[in-house]
Every structure is written in C-alpha cells, then in structure tokens.
Chain A
Amino acid sequence: MNLTVKVWRQKNSKSEGKMVSYNVKDVSPDMSFLEMFDVLNEDLISKGDEPIAFDHDCREGICGMCSMYINGRAHGPKTGITTCQLHMRSFKDGDTIVVEPWRASAFPVVKDLVVDRGAFDRIINAGGFVSVNTGGVPDANAIPISKIDADAAFDAATCIGCGACVASCKNASASLFVAAKITQLALLPQGQVERAARVEKMVAQMEAEGFGACTNTGACSVECPKEISQDTIATMNREYYAAKASSKNV
C-alpha cells in the first residue's frame, strides 16, 4: 500500500514546529505502525534528511513508550492497544494519516513526536510506591488479600504510564494515570501505611505539573491501551476527600 503521512516536525523544544507531508511507498499490511515509520525514516536517511524522532522501546505493548496521536486518537483508531500493536492493515491504500505528539503543557515536545513525560515520574516519586525494608523475601501467601481486591488492584496496576489518557482528555488531565496507581495501592494491605499521605502528595504533584481537572467525559478509559476503568478515578476522589478530611497532616 502507498500512504501519505502528515507528521509533526519540530527541531527541538524551543523551535516552532509544523506539519510535514511524506509519501510512504510499498507498505506491507503486516507491518506495525512503528515499522512503517522505520521504513519512512530509512527513506529520509537515504535522502540525507533528518529522520523523524519518535519514542518506542519494547514494541510489544507493555512498556508504554510509543506515544503517537494518530488520526485524532491516541495510539490510533483501535482501542485497547498501543501504537506498536497497531498494524497497517487497519488502514487502506491511498490513506492520509495525520500523526502528532501528545499535546499537554505538562508534556513539552522534545523533538518531533517525542514528548517529555517526566511529569509522570515526578508524580510517582511523590508517593506512588510502598516503603518496605529490604531483606529476606516474604512468603507470597503470608498476607491474605481477597480475590476481588487482588483482581481490582491488578487491573489498576496494568497502567503502563504511556500518557494516552492525558493526550485524549480534552482537559489534558492525568486523573486516570494517578488514579490507577492510587487505587492499586489503596486496595492492597501493603499500601495502607502511606495511604492518606500518598493520595495527598500524588494529587498535589499532579496539579503542580499543570494537568487539567477531570470532567468525567470518559475519553481516557476508552483510549487507555490497558482499558483502565473510570472506577479508579472515583476511588481516587474518594481517597482524596477522605484523606483531606481525616489525615492529621494539617
């Protein structure tokens, strides 16, 4: 198949960017979207042009690095997958595909399609962890956890931090990402010690990074490659109000 790909080109974080059109020839329907970009980049390099910078790593949908906004949707037209899991058979010969970086003030563009998602790291650093002493590995069955809670915690823990939630939210809100981590740890016995402090600190960091507020459109859950539920956001809100009302941290 032959395609026209319109890509956001931006030299660095300081420069102005613009959309540039490229023709990509002889694309196999079996290629992944990123492989199509590899072909395009090979072509650009052979012509002596600067290849298009884009984030990618595992290419099997578990690392959360790939981050393209394709034809107006995070990770493209399919749901429940990352860009590396999107295949060219989802497009037709002669299609024009528009590819842009995630857009959010908290995710500044570094170059072309690469954005700095360091804001997510800083939110996790603020409280998205449990503090445990290192030492002998505890017995896996020593702490009883109900099946329902274990499943819900695992569902939340599947978040790969790709940022599709922020990219698709009309408010560039990071609520789904933050809520997933808060929910995961709030459901587990290991998360109880830091439970109230965690939600207070993570939400404060989320706001300090300049993400928008959640208006419950539900776009994030639809576009999330791991299909994390809106349940988590309700849990985060509940945890936050409870922590603010009852924690001794004045």
Chain B
Amino acid sequence: MGWLSKALSGNLGQKLIMSLTGLFLISFLLEHLLSNLLLLKSDGADFNAYAEFMKTNPVIQAAEYVLFGGFIVHIIYAAIITAKNKKARPHGYAYNNPSANSSWFSRNMGLSGSMVLIFLIVHLKSFFVPHKITHSATMTIYDDAIITFGNVPYTLFYVAAMCLLAFHLNHGFQSAFQTLGLRHPKYTPFIKKLGTAFSILVPAGFAAIPLYICFIR
C-alpha cells in the first residue's frame, strides 16, 4: 500500500482527504440538525429518548469514533496544508488587492474553521461532556438545553458561530466537489446552488432553535 500513502501525502492527496472529511462532516450536520428539531417539541420526552438512544446504541457509539476521527483529520490536514501553503510564499506583497479576484471567506477558511472549532469545544463542554463523558449532569439533556439556550450571551455566541459556519460551508461545499474533480456543465450549477442553499438553511436552522428557546418560547 506504499503507493496509496505516497499518493495521499502530496498536495492533491491531502486535498482529497480534506474534501472527503469535509463532505462527511456536512452529512453529520444534517443529522444533528434533524435531531435538534426535537427540541422544538415542548415536551422533552422525545428529545431525551433520542439522546438516550444515541448514548447507548452500539452502532452509534462506533459511528461517534468515526465522527471524531473525521473532525480530527479535517483539522490536522487543514493545518498541514496551511503550513505548506504559507511556505510557498515566504515574501508577501507590499500591496495586495485579493478581493478583486476572490471572496474573503474563500481565502480565510482557516480562520472561519478555527472559529467554528472554538465554538465546537464550548459546545461539547456544554452538552457532550457532562451528559456522555463525566455523567455530572444533574438534569435531563432537554432541560439542560432549555436552560443553556435561555442564556442570552450563550445563544448569541451560538448564532455568531452559525454565521461563520455558513460562510465556511458556502465555500467548502462546492470546493469539495471541485477538489474531487466532480465538475460538469450539467451538474456543477446544481451543486453550487445546493451548496449555497445548504450553507444558508442548515446553519439558519441550527441558530433558529436556541433563538426560539431564548426569545419566543
């Protein structure tokens, strides 16, 4: 398998890994959003039952390791590629106008990704760690979510992170297909529209739930 590791260690191989893990994480977002919709039911029984299923089902337990692996690989390869890319231009321009040819978010995926990572760490600390790892939570996860999202600064932080996630996805979604070489005059316009729709609707869906809990419910 030496040929495979060699193929995956080059720029194009590393980008392949970035795009595949990115698309995998995108699929996770959809699953997570759908389960979050259960929070909108005023009776928390369904959400708690779902959380219990996710905590105990052996297939889900295995999938969780794959998911964490996906995040870690995506982040590590982002760091490796960024470091290599920085080395490719050790002396920058005295005057540069990159906004004339590309969008700010397409050029700053590392920054938007890092912000989303900070959010992810806070988010895991709020829910995943007390309910799954340390079992230190004193209430059901539904009650915990209602109380946490009742906190205005936390909810605003959540919404800001979803905005950054939206921009990260807007470039990342179609970029993943481009990296995979999946570009075709018949399908690419659809993929780009789908990516834009996904990057707006999914983070908006995530953000709407704490906003609803915080300000309307």
Contact = CB atoms under 8 A, between A and B. Distances in A.
Interface of A: 6, 8, 19, 69, 71-73, 77, 98, 100, 103-106, 168, 170-173, 203-204, 206-207, 210-219, 222-223, 230-231, 233-241, 244, 250
Contacts of A73: 97, 100-101
Contact of A230 (B16, B81, B178): B178
Contacts of A215: 81, 85, 106-107, 109, 175
A212 B13 CA distance: 13
A64 B106 CA distance: 28
Contact of A213 (B85, B90, B100): B85
B85 A241 contact: no
A170 B98 contact: yes
Contacts of A206: 11
Interface string B54-94: 00000000000000000000000000010011011111111
A106 B88 contact: yes
B153 interface: no
A210 B88 contact: yes
Contacts of B130: none
Nearest to A230: B178
B111 interface: no
A216 B93 contact: no
Contact of A237 (B12, B85, B90, B94): B12
Contacts of B175: 215-216
Nearest to A99: B95
B10 interface: yes
Contacts of B109: 215
13 contacts: A6-B94, A71-B95, A100-B95, A172-B88, A206-B11, A210-B88, A212-B85, A212-B87, A212-B88, A216-B178, A217-B107, A230-B183, A237-B12
Interface string B95-116: 1111011110011010000000
Contacts of B168: none
A203 B85 CA distance: 16
Given A212-B89, A233-B178, 6 more contacts: A73-B101, A204-B10, A219-B98, A237-B16, A241-B12, A244-B13
A149 B7 CA distance: 28
B90 A216 contact: no
B106 A216 contact: yes
Interface string B167-179: 0000100110011
A207 B11 contact: yes
Contacts of A233: 178
Given A216-B106, A216-B178, A98 B89 contact: no
B15 interface: yes
Given A103-B93, A172-B89, A204-B10, A222 B100 contact: yes
A219 B101 CA distance: 5
A238 B95 CA distance: 35
Which 7 residue pairs spanning A and B have beta carbons closest together?
Answer: A238-B181, A72-B97, A212-B88, A234-B183, A171-B85, A222-B101, A212-B85
Contact of B180 (A173, A217, A218, A237): A237
Nearest to B176: A216
Contacts of B10: 203-204, 207
Contacts of A244: 3, 7, 13
B14 interface: yes
A197 to B, nearest CB: 14
A2 to B, nearest CB: 20
A170 B14 CA distance: 18
B34 interface: no
Nearest to A213: B11
B87 A210 contact: yes
A240 B7 CA distance: 9
